[in-house]
Chain A
Amino acid sequence: MRTLAIDRVGAALLGLVLLAAGAAVVDWRFDLVGAWDRLDTGLIRETVEADWFAWAAGGAAVVLAVVALWWLFARVPRPVESGVRLGFSGADRVDVDVRSIAPRLRESLEQSAPVDHVTSSRSRTGTGQLVLLRANVDPRADGESLRRAADDVAASVEAAFPDREVTVRILIDAPRRRGKRRTPRVH
C-alpha cells in the first residue's frame, strides 16, 4: 500500500470535522455554551426541503463518491516498469530488464551473507530503479561478514551500473524462527 500526501491533510480535516460534530452533540446534550438554543432549525428545515437542495445533495453525493473512490484506490501500488535505459551514444540504445537482475542479486546475497529467505522488490528512483533486498539474519552471523557481503553486492551493482540506473538497498531482519529454541544451551 502506498502512502499519499493527501492522507495527512485528509485525516487532519476529517479529524477536525468529527471533533466539531462531537463537540456540537456534547453541547446539545449538556448545554455548555448554549449554541443549540441559538440554532434556527426552521431555517435549516426550509433549506433542506427546498427543491434545489435535492439536486445539490445529488451533486454532492456524486462528487463525494468520486473523491472517496479515488482516495481509496490511489494507494494501490502501481507496477514498476521492468526496464531501465542505460546511457547511450548515437543511435544505439540499451534497455536492461531489472526483473532479471533481482533474482541474481538475491542469490548472490544468500550465498555470500549469513542470511536466508531473501526477497526482493523494486521501486523507482530519480535516476532509475532501486532493488530492495530483504533477508532474515542467521543468529550466528557477525556484523563484519554481513557488511562485507552487502558491500560485495553493492559493488557488483555499482560496477554494472556506474551511472546509478540501478541501485541496491539491503534490509536485514530478525531470524525467522526467533525464540523457537526452548531448551537453554548448557556448556
Chain B
Amino acid sequence: MSRQIPRRLPAATWFGVVGALLLAGFAVFAGQHAAAARGWIDGPSWLLETVAALEDREPSIWVSVGGIAAALLGVWFLIAAFTPGRRTHLPVEGRCDLWVSPRAVEALAADAAERSPGVLHGRGDVQRRRLRVSALLAPGADAGVVAISEAVGERITGLADLELSVQAKEGGR
C-alpha cells in the first residue's frame, strides 16, 4: 500500500496567497490608469506618473528601497516555490496507516526516562533518525544509562525506528 506522507502545507501555498494579492494590486494599478485615461475618475494616472519618474537621472530613495525590497521578495518567492512541505510525522511499520509525530516520541521517551529509578528529569529530542534522551540523575543515585536506555527502548518499541542515545548527568546537591 503506497502511503502519502503527512506534510505541512508547503511555503508556496502561503506565497500563492501573497501572489494573488500582488496580482490584485497590479489589476488596481492597470484599472486606475484605464479609468483616469478615459476620464471616469479625477486625478492623474499612476502609470503615467511612474513613466514620468523613469525620466529622472536617478531613482528616489523610496524607489531604490522598494526595488531592493522587490528583489529580496523575489528571491524569497523563488526559494518558497521549490521548497517542499516538511514532514510532520514518522511512519509506524504495521498493518494500519499509523503515523506518530516526533514530539509525541519525545514525550514518551522523556516519561520513560523519568520513571527510571534515580532519574529526576528526562528530556527527549528527535533529530532526523536519532532520538537523544537527556536525564538528570538524583545525587548519589544508583542509576545507570543502560537502565534508562532499556526503559526508553521498551517504551517506543514498534513505534519508531530511531537510533537511541542517552546522556545522563548527576544533579548537584
Interface residues of A (CB under 8 A from B): 1-4, 6-12, 14-26, 28-29, 39, 41, 44-45, 48-49, 53-55, 57-58, 60-62, 64-65, 67-69, 71-72, 75, 136-137, 139-144, 146-147, 150-151, 153-155, 167-175, 178, 184-187
- Of the candidates B59, B64, B136, which one forms a contact with A184 in the assembled complex, judged by CB atoms under 8 Å apart? B136
On chain A, the residues within 8 Å of B82 by CB distance are 8, 12
Name the prevailing secondary structure of the B interface residues: helix
| Number of B positions contacting A (CB below 8 A) | 87
On chain B, the residues within 8 Å of A6 by CB distance are 16
Interface residues of B (CB under 8 A from A): 6, 9-10, 12-13, 15-17, 19-24, 26-31, 33-35, 37-38, 45, 47-48, 51-52, 54-55, 58-59, 63-64, 66-78, 80-82, 85, 88-89, 92, 94-101, 103-104, 106-108, 110-111, 114-115, 117-121, 136, 138, 154-160
Give chain A nearest CB distance to B18 CB in angstroms.
Answer: 8
Contact between chains at B20 and A142 (CB < 8 Å): no
CA distance A136 to B99 in the complex (A): 12
Contact between chains at B51 and A45 (CB < 8 Å): yes
Given A44-B51, A71-B20, check contact A171 B77 (CB 8 Å): no
Quick one: closest A residue to B121, CB to CB? Answer: A184
